[in-house]
Chain A
């Protein structure tokens, strides 16, 4: 992966829509999503439950196929990018295998990609150092706390040096203090590796603290209503969390979420009205 030849846009979403069909009914989970994510960006997707942010993340990772539109990762179709192993994924649950030690868990992708034992061990060692868990390499996942388990999951996602890191509410199950510490650690890792991150969250402070851009989504149907640039200075830390600009941005995201919600309600209501008046169907 030579940096100079790699495309400047890592993720390109064009007219992405997703409709789930369940029995007789169907739900529009995503509608007309357009978004470019540049190399090295940290973009958060934020929105109310059911706005399709996790679905959007999964279409980028080719874990869900969009009903309409195209998803490109590194200028190729998402499926090609997945088969070329160009992204790492971190879920809300750490999804570690209890039958493997911590270092064996980190080695899992490398093993699947057929790398030899020495490379695997070296790489896993580096990754565990990166997330500060070198002393726990021989432990089993169940012997670690929730925050440590999630750090192992991050180490595993980074082990094969993917271009893109997809994170689905990775710190959602952690307590507030651990979450803030994990936020800082994630930023440090992001700065050291220069990796592109797409991060799903429902925490406004988390989105603002981490991101270079926040994509605010609304539900019914899921769409991006606002893109907010986060111009907080880097590196970010405790001082960032106490700066006036941080609170301004939090307010901006909150307002955006509220107007998005109001607009969605309006659309839903006008649609209902239309149905009531016999305008549709």
Chain B
């Protein structure tokens, strides 16, 4: 109960600010008589969203497809990022070989990679969109987790050595717990990147029922109110995924200063 009350208190400024922004937007558009294809009013966007929820542009089924692709890409990119981070931390000499390649891969523009992924994995297949999302997710997960696995107090390593602990024990008892806060920081970035990747992948072709296709179709028909409602849905999904990561983080690392705050009982 105390926790729920705390959450309301904590997020009420954000809710108020959000409501203020929407209100100003609505009032501004009406007062200045801004035309719909420049900037639709929030009420117009809401109407467009409701009108095209299940029929027309089918935003809800499209959102489900996009979310599925984003989650798939998130899982793939996270697994790969974790795997590479563990390999580098376990074999430090591999760092100089792997990191430049990872940086180079990360530098590939997403709009160049998306058509390639469509070509490789099939334009109709969700795998091609997941691949684009995964390519964005991989780097922040890898680089953050690697930092957490390697940035361990030297005296903690000495302590483990004094116990004659092997590399496996050091990893399990010290490196992994130490890396968890870093991993969650990576995940918070990765969730929104995964959504971005999925939408961009869809933009370059594929199933018609997908948010990326809703954006392409509505924009070319100059139905920007519908484009905006697709943006709103992606944002809401982004917030939901972020909050999910936050909730898991609180369960996983209640001991970390970022989660526990500055409480002291003595």
Contacts and interface: CB of A to CB of B under 8 A. Distances in A.
Interface of A: 58, 61, 63, 82-85, 87-89, 91-93, 95, 97-99, 108-109, 111-113, 139-140, 142-145, 148, 166
Contacts of A140: 255
A109 B173 CA distance: 11
Contact of A89 (B153, B158, B257, B265): B158
Given A63-B161, A91-B155, A142 B260 contact: yes
A82 B107 CA distance: 47
Contact of A85 (B155, B163, B266): B163
Nearest to A148: B266
Given A99-B177, A99-B253, A113-B163, A143 B155 contact: no
Nearest to B176: A99
B162 interface: yes
Given A142-B260, A145-B266, A98 B255 contact: yes
B264 A143 contact: yes
Contact of A144 (B156, B173, B266): B266
B159 A91 contact: yes
Given A95-B159, A143-B265, 12 more contacts: A63-B161, A83-B164, A85-B163, A89-B159, A91-B159, A93-B153, A112-B160, A112-B163, A112-B169, A113-B163, A143-B264, A166-B162
A78 to B, nearest CB: 11
B64 interface: no
B215 to A, nearest CB: 43
B65 interface: no
18 contacts: A61-B162, A82-B162, A82-B164, A85-B164, A87-B162, A89-B158, A91-B155, A95-B153, A95-B156, A95-B159, A97-B156, A97-B173, A99-B253, A108-B163, A112-B173, A142-B260, A143-B263, A166-B162
A112 B169 CA distance: 8
Contacts of A144: 266
Contacts of B180: 99
Contacts of A112: 160, 163, 165, 169, 173
A117 to B, nearest CB: 16
The residue among B158, B162, B164, B165 with the most chain A CB atoms within 10 A of its own CB is B162
Contacts of B256: 98
B265 A139 contact: yes
A95 B173 CA distance: 13
Given A95-B153, A142-B264, A63 B177 contact: no
